[in-house]
Chains A and B, each alone.
Chain A
């Protein structure tokens, strides 16, 4: 097994979705390859639920180097979390786009309201 094959199968491995024969091949590979063993071990230190807790800090660049590395390994290992990350990012974009797009551009202010504010200012002065 090559390292890239392991990474493609890693999600199924950690989720117990693979047949015993495939699992055995992965375990044989990680026994000889410290990088892949480390990859699987580190990625498993973060659950999907914990992954979601760090999303905003990840986007805002507030994660430390070690946290960021764990986060990124989890994305590599767990395609659903990669999809979640992408959809979270698009949600932010869509929120801004949809709310502002529905408004008249340029935003207008009724003439009567302008005059009412000016009158209120004179009363306040």
Chain B
């Protein structure tokens, strides 16, 4: 019998954060099929995974479905986990994959062309409207919520392929190679999507960032 993975030997309460967990003990428990180990895995890593699924799906019910699928997939594959990545990182990737599978099964919404959200250039390559310097005070307390709302609305407004690309790269902090793998495109295509999504988000932010209110 392995030592309980839920309990850190030095503690008397169950681990609730990854840094409190003895990952090796947890893995032993999972591979031995212990119920307590599976519950610990969900309690410790489920919150972060659910947050990622929420960001991708934008819908609580779908996010919870994706999380369940992610854990069932992880339980099936636990013997293949080789420990090259941290357990939390491995689970995060699985959650993103489950959320993307769920997203693909949904009906696509009507989308705006990304080109309409990007800056315009003249025939000789100059900005039609020259970019202005952003105010340093735009991220201060008075405008913080307004800026956050604009960012979230700006990301939601992106065409799905671009929204997912920027979420995976800049929010979930995956590498370009991982983004490409999740999206089923080349690394170069993934980079272009991320870059255009950032430029479109920048355009959405520009009015509030260049003209701060007093």
Contact = CB atoms under 8 A, between A and B. Distances in A.
To the question of whether A and B form a pair in one complex, the answer is: yes
Contact of B202 (A88, A100, A113): A88
B42 A92 contact: no
A91 interface: yes
A108 B151 CA distance: 23
Contacts of A100: 171
B132 interface: yes
A92 B134 CA distance: 14
Interface in B182-214: 191, 194-195, 198-199, 201-202, 205-206, 209
B89 interface: no
Interface stretch (B5-13, B103-111, B118-126): B118-126
A113 B67 contact: yes
A121 B38 contact: yes
B171 A95 contact: yes
A120 interface: yes
A63 to B, nearest CB: 13
Contact of A103 (B51, B64, B201, B202): B51
Size category, B interface: 35 or more
Contact of B127 (A48, A87, A109, A121): A48
A98 B42 contact: no
Given A94-B205, A113-B67, A117-B72, A86 B133 contact: yes
B148 interface: yes
Mostly, the A contact residues are helix
Contacts of B209: 87, 90
A88 B134 CA distance: 10
Given A49-B121, A91-B205, A117-B72, 15 more contacts: A55-B199, A86-B134, A87-B131, A90-B134, A95-B171, A97-B151, A98-B147, A98-B148, A103-B54, A109-B47, A109-B67, A113-B64, A113-B68, A114-B39, A118-B39
Interface of A: 15, 47-50, 52, 55-56, 60, 80-81, 83-84, 86-88, 90-92, 94-103, 106-110, 113-114, 116-118, 120-121, 124-125
Interface of B: 17, 33, 35, 38-39, 42-43, 46-48, 50-51, 54-55, 64, 67-68, 71-72, 75-76, 119, 121, 124-127, 130-134, 139, 147-148, 151-152, 155, 166-167, 170-171, 176, 191, 194-195, 198-199, 201-202, 205-206, 209
